[in-house]
Amino acid sequence: MKSKLLSLTAIALVGLAVVGSATPARAAMQVTYTTQGTFTGGDLAGTNVYSTGTLDADPNNDVVITFENILAQTIAVNPPPASGTSLGQFNTTGTTAADLQGVSSSFSIDIFQVLPSPTTPPSLTLIGTLQGTLAFNATEAFVLFTGFTPVTLPNLGPAGKIGTFVSPNGVDVSYYITEADNGVLGKANIVPPSVSGGISSVEGAITSTPEPASIVMAGMAIPLGLLMLRRRTKGNVAE
C-alpha cells in the first residue's frame, strides 16, 4: 500500500511538472496584423485623414491629421505577459494653421489579423472620438477611445481589451489598447507639427493562448501514469 501511494505521488508530480512546463517551453507565436483608421468628419470624411480648410484657397489655415495605418506588422507574441505593439500613429505635419482650430470627429480603428488566419471574428473595432484644438505650434487635441473593456495586464498594468481572434487551430489572440495619456486609459494626445515631427503613436498589446498541443500533452500526463500503475498492479497480483 505504501509503495502504491508513493507511485501515485510520483505520477502526480510528473503530471504537474508537465503542466507547468508546457506553456513556457512553447516558442513565441508569430502574429501578423494590419489596422485601418477612419474619421467620420472633416473635408475627407470616411478616410484615414481628418482635414478642415483644405478645400479653400488659403493654404495657411489648414488642419490635417492623418492616421498612419499599420500596413503589415509581424511580432513575436507570447502567452501572458503581453507583448507591446502599436495600433498606428497620428501625423499632423500637414497642419499649417497658425491659430488653434477646433477639431471634432468620430474615429475608429479596425484591426485585421493576417496570421494566424482565417479568424473569427474577421475584424476587431476600437471606437474613439477626436476633440480639442490644433495649430502648427500648439495643441489641445486628442482622441478618446471608449470601445474596450478595462483589464490589467501582468507586465503592462491597466489596459483595455478590444477583443479576441480565434483561428481554426483553436489558438486565441487578444488585442488591447494601453495608451493612457494624462493617466486616462484610452486617451491619445495629438502633438502639433512642431513637436516630435507631428507623430504620436497609439500604443497597444497582444497576448496569445498556449498551443492546444501543449495543453493536450499536459492533460494526458496523469491519465497515462495511472494506466501504467494499474498495469503494474495487475502484474504484481498475477505473480
Res 56: pLDDT:
66
Res 209: pLDDT:
82
Consecutive 10-residue averages of pLDDT for the chain (239 residues): 44 41 60 98 96 76 96 89 95 96 97 94 97 97 97 93 93 96 98 96 91 42 44 49
Res 5: pLDDT:
40
Res 28: pLDDT:
81
200 touches 139 (CB < 8 A): no
How many CA atoms, within 13 angstroms, populate the side-chain half-sphere of residue 128? 26
Among the listed residues 194, 183, 199, the one whose alpha carbon sits nearest the alpha carbon of residue 88: 199
Query: pTM for the whole thing?
Result: 0.78
Res 180: pLDDT:
97
Which letter does DSSP use for residue 120 in this model?
Answer: B
Res 151: pLDDT:
96
Q: How many residues does the chain have?
A: 239
Nearest-angstrom CA–CA distance, 228 and 222: 10
Res 195: pLDDT:
95
Nearest-angstrom CA–CA distance, 34 and 164: 15
Which letter does DSSP use for residue 197 in this model?
Answer: G
